[in-house]
Amino acid sequence: VGELRPTGGYIDKNKAESIGYCPQDDIHFSALTVLQSIDYICRIHGLDPALLNNLIISQFQLEKYRHRLVSHLSGGTCRRLHLALCLIGSPTLLLLDEPTAKIDPLLRSHIRLILQHRPIDTSIVFASHSMLESEQLCDRITILVRGNARCLGSPQHLKNKYGINYRVRLTLLQPSFQMPLLTSVDNSNEYVYAEGSLAQLFKLLEQLVEQNKIASNFTVELTSLEHIFLSLQRSQDIKV
């Protein structure tokens, strides 16, 4: 977006396309209020602020801040305002760098719904440290490790390719006991179950509980994108 000189490649942009940009660090209109900031961006897009002000303020829950200076907003509120500003004009391409950072979980969920219900012709390039958020919002995901792209595909494709079936968290009651059919992850209380059915896994765990080998409060979950990211990161660390 102009901050770094490109080292190669190209981007084709249709002249009819408009771009909305939400950088990682907010760009402050410190001398303007929330309402004035919305007015300003609306006028840049040739839109009538009177028709959009209340809708934008309501959608991003900024009602009580409408007359407050942007410089006096909290980090999370400023983040909401900045995201609202980049959506004005219904851009066909959105560049969002951690748009929900510093926002509380309830409002983060609300903003995800706004992004999920975007116009069908709007594309989003979305950077996030939250694997859960990426899985909920993205059709295709690339995982970067040390600045290098390690994979690209839909969430389900990545799980099918890199997934390791089930992750088990448990507590050993006999520290020297070697878990059968399960592989420890970094000598922690987390194990990988790579082969066999879920029914076989639960049968094994229940037998070990009856034998007082493990505690009964074990958990079992499917491999997540976060597990895949950590696995790719560990493999990169080993190569280094």
Pairing of strands 93-97, 123-127: parallel
Which residues touch 29 (CB under 8 Å, ≥6 apart)? 36, 37, 40, 70
Q: Are 119 and 176 members of one domain?
A: no
Q: Are 123 and 169 members of one domain?
A: no
State residue 240's pLDDT score: 45
Contact 162, 151 (CB under 8 A): yes
Sequential DSSP letters for 67-133: TSBGGGS-HHHHHHHHHHHHHTT--SEEEEESTTTT--HHHHHHHHHHHHTS-TT-EEEEE-S-HHH
Q: From residue 77, how far is each of 32, 66, 99 by CA, in Å?
A: 15, 11, 12
**How many folded domains does the chain comprise?**
2
In a domain, 154, yes or no: no
Q: Could you give the count of Cα atoms lying within 13 Å of 203 in the half-sphere of its Cβ? A: 5
Q: Are 118 and 31 members of one domain?
A: yes
In a domain, 156, yes or no: no
Distance CA 39, CA 35 (A): 6
Q: How do residues 171-199 score in pLDDT, each as one tens digit? A: 999 988 988 988 888 778 889 887 778 89
Q: Are 122 and 180 members of one domain?
A: no
- Interhelix angle 34-44/49-59, nearest 10 degrees: 130
Sequential DSSP letters for 44-81: HTT--HHHHHHHHHHHTT-GGGTTSBGGGS-HHHHHHH
* 118 three-state secondary structure: coil
Q: Are 38 and 111 members of one domain?
A: yes
Q: What is the pTM of this model?
A: 0.72
Distance CA 132, CA 207 (A): 33
Residue 16: is its pLDDT beyond 60?
no
pLDDT, averaged across the chain: 86
Distance CA 98, CA 130 (A): 9
Neighbours of 42 (CB within 10 A): 20
55: CATH:
3.40.50.300
In a domain, 139, yes or no: no
Distance CA 90, CA 10 (A): 24
Q: Are 104 and 25 members of one domain?
A: yes
**Which of 127, 148, 173 is where one domain is finished?**
127
Q: Domain residues for 193? A: 164-222
Q: Are 45 and 91 members of one domain?
A: yes
Q: Are 120 and 171 members of one domain?
A: no
In a domain, 2, yes or no: no
Q: Are 109 and 61 members of one domain?
A: yes
Q: Are 121 and 171 members of one domain?
A: no
In a domain, 153, yes or no: no
Q: How do residues 76-112 score in pLDDT, each as one tens digit? A: 899 899 999 999 988 989 999 988 888 888 888 888 8
Q: Are 78 and 171 members of one domain?
A: no
The pair of structure tokens assigned to 200 is: 């076989």
In a domain, 176, yes or no: yes
Neighbours of 119 (CB within 10 A): 8
The pair of structure tokens assigned to 56 is: 């934008």
DSSP 8-state code for residue 237: H
Contact 145, 156 (CB under 8 A): no
> In which residue are the tokens 């396309």 written?
17
H or E element that contains 226: helix 225-239
Percent share of the chain, pLDDT over 70 = 93
In a domain, 26, yes or no: yes
In a domain, 27, yes or no: yes
171: CATH:
3.30.70
Residue 238: is its pLDDT beyond 60?
no
Q: Are 173 and 104 members of one domain?
A: no
Name the range with the highest mean pLDDT among 21-25, 45-49, 165-169: 45-49
